[in-house]
Amino acid sequence: MAKPHALPVWDRRFERRFEEYLDDHPSTYETRPTWSITAWLEAQPAYDWLLAAFQHSRRSAKNIQPFITKHKIDMSEFEPVQYRSYAEFFTRKFKQGIRRFPDVPHIMGAFAEARYLGWTHVAEGQKFPVKGHSLDAASILGSAERAKPFERGPVLLARLSPVDYHHVHFPDDGEILKDYRIGGRLWTINWKALLSKEDILFSNERHVNLLQTENFGLLGFVEIGAMSVGRVVQVHDVSVRFKRGAEKSYFDFGGSAVVVFGEAGRWRPADDVLANTLNGVETLLRLGEPTASAR
C-alpha cells in the first residue's frame, strides 16, 4: 500500500503554503493508481453508486460534525440548514453575497472554489504538472474537431478537495453551444496520480460544454468526476443564456475537477497561478477571485 503524498498548495488569500492530505483511502495517492487493487475497485461506477447510497442515508449524518471540526470549516459562510445526510452537507451552499465575481469585464473570476494549475498553452512533450498529453484537449473533450479551436490556447485545471464548496459557476456572460457526457471510470484526479497514469482525465466520467462567452471567447469547459463522485448535476438550462457568477452545476459527493480550455491569445491565467504551477504547487482560490484576464 502506498503512503499518502502531500500535495503542496499556496493559499492566495492568507499568503501561506501548506501541505494537503485528502480524507481518502491511501490507495487514492498511489503514484501508479492502476497498480492498486483497492484503487481499481474504487474506480468502478458500481462502487461509486454503493458509496453514494450510504452518503445519502440518514445514518451518514453523524459524520458531518467531526468533518467540520477536523477541517475547521467556517459554517457561518453557508446557508443555515439542518442536513439530513452527509451528501446534503457536501452540497451545502454559500449564503447570498459571501462570494463575489469581478465587476471588471476583462477579469475572469474563479469558477470553482478549488486548487488551480494554469498554463498559457500546453506544448507537446511537456511534463505534468506541465504535462501536455495529460491535458490534451482532443482526449478530454472527446474529439479532435471539438479541440481544434483551443490549439495553443490557455488551460486552467481546478481540483476540488472534499472540504470545498462543490458548486461550479459561470465565469462570464454567454451561451452554451454544445452539451454532452463522455467517459466512465472514476480514478482519483490529484496531480501526483496523474504523473504516472496519464489517461485519468481521458477515461473519467465528465460533462463537457462549449461556452461562448462575451469577454473570453470560446471556452471548452469540462467537469470531471473523480473517485466517489460520478454525478455532475447540471442546474442551468442549456437553452438559456447564462450570467457571470450564476450557478452552473454541482458535484455530488467526493473530490472532483474542472478543466477549462481557451482560444489562443484570448486570455491568460493569473501570474501567481502560472508561477506556482511551474513549481509544482497548486493555488487555492476562493470562488470569484481573479483567476485569468482577457488579452
pLDDT confidence tier of residue 51, bands split at 50, 70 and 90: low
Give residue 86's pLDDT.
Answer: 87
168's grid cell: 461550479
Whole-structure pTM value: 0.82
How many other CB atoms are there within 10 angstroms of residue 43's CB atom? 25
**Single-letter amino acid code for the residue at 235:** V
Q: Which domain holds residue 132?
A: 1-295
Highest mean pLDDT among 164-178, 194-208, 214-228: 164-178
Question: Strand pairing of 256-262 and 217-225?
Answer: antiparallel
Long-range contacts of residues 235-242, Cβ cutoff 8 Å, at least 24 apart: 236/170, 236/176, 238/176, 238/179, 238/209, 239/176, 241/173, 241/174, 241/175, 242/170, 242/173, 242/174, 242/175, 242/176, 242/211
- Assign 3-class secondary structure to 210-265: EEEECCCEEEEEEEEECCCCCCEEECCCCCCCECCCCEEEEECCCCEEEEEEECCC
pLDDT 10s digits, 97-135: 999 999 999 999 999 999 999 999 876 655 444 333 456
pLDDT 10s digits, 57-71: 888 899 999 999 998
Q: What is the number of helices (H) and of strands (E) in the chain?
A: 9, 15
What is the number of domains present in the chain?
1
Closest-CA residue to 287 (of 108, 119, 118): 108
Secondary structure (DSSP) of 97-153? TSS---SSTTEEEPSSSEEEEEES---TTPPTTS-GGGG-HHHHHSSHHHHGGGTT-
pLDDT 10s digits, 223-265: 987 644 456 889 999 999 999 999 999 987 655 789 999 999 9
How many other CB atoms are there within 10 angstroms of residue 13's CB atom? 9
**Single-letter amino acid code for the residue at 51:** L
Which residues have CB under 8 Å from 240's CB, separation 6+? none
**Single-letter amino acid code for the residue at 253:** F
d(C-alpha 119, C-alpha 107), whole Å: 17
d(C-alpha 57, C-alpha 36), whole Å: 29
Give residue 143's pLDDT.
Answer: 85
